Structure 1
Amino acid sequence: MGRKIVGAPRKKPTKNAQAVRIGNLIYTQGIPVNFDTGEVVGKSIREQTKQTMENIRATLEGCGSSMDNIDKCTAFISGRDLVAGMNEVYYTYFPADSTPARVCVIAELVNPQMMVEIEVYAHLKDE
């Protein structure tokens, strides 16, 4: 079982792996950045969460998986006052009876324009 760098096509790649696959498991993350320009998208937590979740969706689909196969998320947000807005968008991506395990951490993010970053553990689609 080897380690493989995987993901969706990007015009503006970053130095970090978009996703890492080991066997049936996928480790990835989402940030509120436009894949084509590298620019942060959105001025509100809702806009940034939507972009982040869409980036996660694109990455997982590029790996042969989907949002349905997310097992655990760790959401990092830059303030307690942003939790409700993030949750409002985040939970629209999952059926109410099948949300992944999640931890939410209040943290200062590396890019001061970003309000959210979400780490994801997922698996490949069930055969």
Structure 2
Amino acid sequence: IAHGLTSSALFCLANINYERTSTRTLILTRGWQLTMLLTTTWWLTANLMNMALPPTTNLLGELMIISALFNWNKTTIMITGLTTLLTATYTLHMFIMTQLGKPQTKNAMPPTHTREHLLMTLHLVPLMMLILSPNLLI
């Protein structure tokens, strides 16, 4: 459940970027922290949850998967650890490349819409609520 909501939120944010820039190249949205602060906050929250930062339910899910794989075969721990590290590294790189730095375009961005914030709220608030009661997933 946590992975589904998190990945859906990230795809939703990528679509918001596409609607504003008319390109799928995420690097063209560089510098949005200066112009679209709330959207940057949504990006940060979704990326931190994707990296399985404690106390998110994604961490609980990853720990359960890692322990099951370790009990199944001891050699899988290196592969699982490497993929977990690569995922966290790529997620952090994606956030830095899309949100921080100098803006790539001189075009003025239209203001954010209530629809975009409602969509992100409906993705991320259930994840935050699951932090308070993770036994719903177990």
Q: Please confirm whether the aligned pair reaches a TM-score higher than 0.5, indicating the same fold.
A: no
Which structure features the higher share of helix residues? Answer: 2
Which of the two has higher C-alpha Rg?
A: 2
TM-score by length of 2: 0.27
TM-score (norm 1): 0.29
Highest relative contact order (Cα 8 Å, sep 6+), 1 or 2?
Answer: 2
Task: Identify the structure with the greater strand proportion.
Answer: 1
